[in-house]
Structure 1
Amino acid sequence: MGVKFYVIFGKIKGVFTMSRIGKLPIKIPDSVTIDYRDSEIIVKGKFGTLQRSVPEIISLVQEDGKLNVNLKENDKKIKALHGLYRTLINNMVIGVSEQFTITLNLKGVGYRAAVQGNEIVLSLGYSHPVKIEIPNNISVEVLQNTTVNLKSCDKESLGLFAANIRSWRKPEPYKGKGILYKNEKILRKAGKSGK
């Protein structure tokens, strides 16, 4: 557990230990290089380069193919950032070395997608096609008109872009139509029955 409790004179006191996630070292693949200076971390790999600002109270130590995220101070509010920044940096390393992928499935009569230039064009039952500009750091592939594969080394922007596409036709519970994530299960409802 992240918090241990003990009793002194009938009162509960809390002892806050180091974050379980934050203290885990980050494994650095051979194809990835990390540059850390002036509270900026730059991670380079075969799929791109990512950059992020890191609070000054966090120090990064790289040795033996691993990166350790440490805290300079032992304050309760600062400890809350330990696991967060360890996860963010780990996602950067995974992204530039392997990339993240999100698959969307279009389910509905006449629903289809296509890539035209730097836009993804969606036919979702509206009177007009929906055109969404594709960010520079995201690649889009459409399979069989109804399956959209999104890839990027930036997990955060990838998730936001997928959510933006999905927001145009969120799955509805009666016929199960809409834009679904891969392997997503929709809790179906029974429609009104006629007398």
Structure 2
Amino acid sequence: MSRIGKKEILIPENTEIKINQNSILIKGIKGELKYDFSNLIKVERIENKLKLTKKHETQKTQEIYGLSRSIINNMVIGISKGFRKKLIIQGVGYRAQMEKENLILNVGYSHPIYIKPPKDIKIDVENNVNIIITGINKETVGQIAATIRSKRPPEPYKGKGIRYEYEVVRRKVGKAGK
């Protein structure tokens, strides 16, 4: 059983937190985020820390306890530092470019792929092959990165495709010639 819910969340400087009955609003340097948590847990502020407590001792409460703590902690990190994912495109003729707010991918199909990011996500393209996704919400940054990667995942024979920055693609040996 995880004990992650017992950890306190440190609140950085210049951060404003409002706790209503079952919702929390966190405002910081980069923006603001809101989360509606379950009524099975209680969130309270003690000086410059947030502490979560369980109202009951059930399996469901324990699950939500750790989950809520992780989500609130990610919100605090997001509004103070932000989140970033980097994707790398490999392959001859594969490239990416920005047109206004839209990302255009040319990754071996007969047509370009257009991806429109949500309002709170910023996408940058470096050298036509590096895509950097930044934002304050960890979930949406990861989801946009996964969506972009899913358009052409790396294949195991030549390694062509879109991969995460530190992803290792296990290569296979091609067919043996006679």
Instruction: Please tell me the TM-score bracket, short chain as reference.
Output: over 0.9
Greater Cα radius of gyration, structure 1 or 2: 1
TM-score (norm 2): 0.97
Superposition misfits of 4+ residues, deviation over 6 angstroms: none
The amino acid across from 1:174 in the alignment is Y
* 1:156 alignment partner, one of 117, 120, 139: 139
Alpha-carbon distance in 1 for matches of 2:137, 2:62: 25
| CA-to-aligned-CA distance 1:122-162 (integer Å, 9 cap, x gap) | 11011111111111010011111100110010011111111
Between the aligned residues of both structures, percent identity stands at: 42
Specify the alignment match of 2:3 in structure 1: 20
In structure 1, C-alpha distance between the alignment counterparts of 2:30 and 2:48, rounded to whole Å: 19
CA RMSD of aligned residues (A): 1.0
In the alignment, the residues of structure 2 paired with residue 33 and residue 72 of structure 1 have an alpha-carbon distance, to the nearest angstrom, of: 25
Show the 5 A alignment for 1:125-164.
Answer: 125-164=108-147
- In structure 2, the gaps of 5 or more residues are none
Q: Which runs of 5+ in 1 are unaligned?
A: 3-18
CA distance in 1, matches of 2:49, 2:23: 18
The corresponding residue for 1:11 is none
Distance 2:137 2:59 in 1: 29
Question: Which of residues 136, 160, 165 in structure 2 aligns to 1:177?
Answer: 160
> Which residue in 2 is equivalent to 1:66?
49
1:40 corresponding residue in structure 2? 23
- When the two structures are aligned, how many residues end up with a matched partner? 178
Task: Give the TM-score normalised by the residue count of structure 1.
Answer: 0.89
Q: Give the corresponding residue for 1:93.
A: 76
Comparing both structures, which one devotes a greater share of its residues to strand? Answer: 1
